[in-house]
Chains A and B, each alone.
Chain A
Amino acid sequence: MDMNSSLVQRSTNQIACDMGGEVVILDLKSGTYYGLDVLGARVWSLIEQPASLVAIRDTIMSEYEVDAATCERDILTFLNQMQAAGLIEISNGSHL
């Protein structure tokens, strides 16, 4: 996953709602519910429209006290899990 060119967007097979800071997502294909904590919910809100990984990282870094390497690593781990669950799509910017 390339930080500079990859774009992240929500999958169309899910529906989510805000639970006062946290987010619950229902995967429409599997019927599985996923819960996101406040930080996950923040990332989720950032990808309401397709967003680059760099933009997500920079926004989180501006809001939380975290160094760039840790932030990048945590975001990538989180997004990989979301992608594996089919809740988001990550693609090269030119494809979106």
Chain B
Amino acid sequence: MMSPATLRESLSAMNVQLPSRSLEFELMCLCARITVDSVAEARIRALVRQEVDWNFLIVTAHQHRVLPLLYRSLERVAPDEVPELAIRRLRSAFHANATRNLFLTGELLQVIDIFRAHDIPCIPYKGPVLASLVYGDISLRQFADLDVIVPVKAVARARALLVARGYRPEKRMSEKELLDPIRTEKDITLFRDNGIELEMHWGVTTDAHPIQISPQLLWKELGTHSIAGKSVQTLPYEVLLLIQCIHGATHGWERLGWLCDVAGIVRSQRGLNWDRAIEHATVLRGRRILFHGLALARDLLGAEPPANVLQAIQEDPVLIPLSEQVKGWLLSESPVPPGEREQFFMRLREHPADKLRVAFKQAKSYLALTSRDTESFRVPAFLTWMLYVLRPIRLACEYGLTPFTRFFKGIFQS
């Protein structure tokens, strides 16, 4: 593993072709640390004196949801080295984000009050709570919506209360119709006219996810946290860490902001029971997913787990190439080649049965017909079955055989 300060040097040493944006990427990673130590400060000062493409950096930091951290670090560490226009853009974006976060936090607290008044337990999750709990300041995290978890049996009542507050469900459903998504989904989305989007969860994963966290686990050993003098329930750090690692891995860690969450939780070590976190991950057969998130947070954001966890990370040889793969994606300006994420996720799973499960889902999605198949091949109704034969041929013509090769390699690689 390597420190962010030496990321470019390490990639060079490994004969990895350096993308032209590695300067901005390194600067973004250093500034995205919740706590910037003196070594990182010195490196930031050295980097900002180079030919930084400030427009690219600001746009990329926004895409990675780390713009507030970028502004905060630059403003503290090198305010006179950053061009005036760039710092003004960053400041303006920071203020807009902070103001919106205040607004969303105020709304969240009112929703919690309503649920509380109707005896509906709820756990606010991600959004303002994660910002306050892990970043120590709600202005430092970029989030667009609110997330609350309620017990399965309270979903219909909670939805009715939100509707009474002026929320509009994304899909109109009767209470009876709601039973179907409750069985197969993990949340429903509601909107308010003032632009607020609220996801009401009863779970955090579904059967369609490559790994599942049972809703029961969410309601165990809850913590409390105070926001604006109000006490709210929070998921224990161990569960939060696991959820963030699963979420990031599921999306191939395409946003640095997710790793900042992991790094922030790692830094909150006083509240984190590492044995418990590993125990949860082991039960879910998701140790590698947990360790991979931790390895990336350490490599890119300098978040140091305790020595025994670090040793466990270093003992898994698969984690290094997987981490390098994610760094390559983060540094690249091109989209991830088809099939690479699926192969990545199969390698992240430890148990053969889990690999097969991922492979089965992927095969199912490869074989499922789309409108492009029916439009490309006009066949009479009695020959529809032929479309299933023609689809792999069409995909191979379009993308080549590499995605299929990656897919099969992913199954067999450990």
Contact = CB atoms under 8 A, between A and B. Distances in A.
B228 interface: yes
Nearest to B75: A20
A50 to B, nearest CB: 12
A33 interface: yes
Interface stretch (B34-42, B92-100, B385-393, B400-408): B92-100
Nearest to B76: A20
B186 interface: no
Interface stretch (B101-109, B333-341, B356-364): B101-109
Contacts of A15: 102, 105-106, 109, 138, 227-228
Interface in A62-76: none
Interface in B238-261: none
A19 interface: yes
A14 interface: yes
Interface residues of A, number: 15
Contact of A12 (B94, B110, B228): B228
A12 B227 CA distance: 9
Contacts of B110: 28
B137 A17 contact: yes
B358 to A, nearest CB: 41
B72 interface: yes
B178 to A, nearest CB: 30
Interface of B: 71-72, 75, 91, 94-95, 98-99, 101-103, 105-106, 109-110, 137-139, 227-230
Contact of B228 (A18, A19, A28): A28
A19 B98 contact: yes
B229 A24 contact: no
26 contacts: A10-B229, A12-B228, A12-B229, A14-B228, A15-B109, A15-B138, A17-B98, A17-B101, A17-B137, A18-B137, A19-B94, A19-B95, A19-B98, A19-B139, A20-B72, A20-B94, A24-B102, A26-B102, A26-B103, A26-B106, A28-B106, A28-B109, A28-B228, A31-B106, A33-B99, A33-B102
A54 B171 CA distance: 57
A18 B105 contact: no
Most chain A beta-carbon contacts within 10 A, residue among B91, B99, B137: B99
Nearest to A10: B229
A14 B95 CA distance: 18
Nearest to B227: A15
Contacts of A31: 106
Contacts of A16: 102
A16 B102 CA distance: 7
B58 to A, nearest CB: 16
A17 B138 contact: yes
Contacts of B103: 26
